[in-house]
Amino acid sequence: MNCVRRAAQGFTLVEILVALAVLAIALTATARSLGAAIELSREWPDLDVKEGDADMGGRAFHWRQETGVTPAARMRRVEVSVFLPGTDSMLAKMTGFLRQTGPQSGPQAGPSR
């Protein structure tokens, strides 16, 4: 009798490790982009969308930073997404919140005389 056993269908360990490595690279790029944007710009972020390209781990990535409002007046929501260049295929998305530590922007009162 010839019995052919079929192996269980699933992912191999190598495939899982490769997927985790790609995810780790994408999340690292996202964290660096968000960290660099926060460290380089100590100013209160404008409500806008910024985009750029970055190389990490020998691979090219495209990132998008969207800054939005929150119910708290002195907080901003910053969302950074990482894509493969030339595609809409999102690899990772990170959301963070920034608190305004200085005086609120707007008309400043001058010194009284």
Distance CA 63, CA 50 (A): 8
Assigned domain for 22 exists: yes
Report the number of distinct structural domains present in the chain.
1
The tally of CA atoms less than 13 A away on the side-chain side of residue 98 is: 23
pTM for the model: 0.55
**pLDDT single digits (tens) 56-93:** 888 889 999 999 999 998 899 999 898 988 888 888 89
**pLDDT single digits (tens) 27-42:** 887 777 666 655 555 6
Assigned domain for 33 exists: yes
Assigned domain for 42 exists: yes
**CA–CA distance from 94 to each of 2, 6, 30, 70, 84 (Å)?**
53, 41, 7, 16, 16
Domain that includes residue 70, residue range: 13-99
Looking up residue 60, the CATH number of its domain turns out to be 3.30.1300.30
For strand 49-56 and strand 59-69, is the pairing parallel, antiparallel, or unpaired? Answer: antiparallel
